[in-house]
Structure 1
Amino acid sequence: MIFPIEELINFTGNIYEITCAATRRAYQISMLRDEDNKDDESTDKAVSIAAKQIFTKEVQYRIEHNPQ
């Protein structure tokens, strides 16, 4: 899977918000990836996997407001 550029081009929401969500998801993927567990996505980069998951709504995110 390459980076989902078509979805990024057509995205009409808050680009900062979705970038933060994809970044956090990519971090989670890279931390959880285990060399013994090879799957069909093992050759893909964490950022590409995360972006695909966010844009296809396979993984959902929400914004948590921290009142100060």
Structure 2
Amino acid sequence: MKNLKLKVARIEHDLSQEELAKKIGVTRQTIGLIEQGKYNPTLQLCIAICKTVNKTLDDLFWNEED
């Protein structure tokens, strides 16, 4: 499942995948794979992303199931 919430938060902060990756110490490919839903990040990585884009874990990584 694609993580569009992460992509939107990244764009809201005017960050490219490369810029976000550098801020949290991963590769641009890692950010791309997370956004595509092809990589399941560790909790530590999720927290680093959330702190960088000023969002909570629920904001970016919780999927509401109907």
Q: Same fold (TM over 0.5)?
A: no
| Greater C-alpha Rg | 1
Larger relative contact order, structure 1 or 2 (CA cutoff 8 Å, min sep 6): 1
Using the size of structure 2 for normalisation, the TM-score is 0.31
As a proportion of its length, which structure holds more helix? Answer: 2
Q: Could you state the TM-score of these two structures normalised by the residue count of structure 1?
A: 0.30
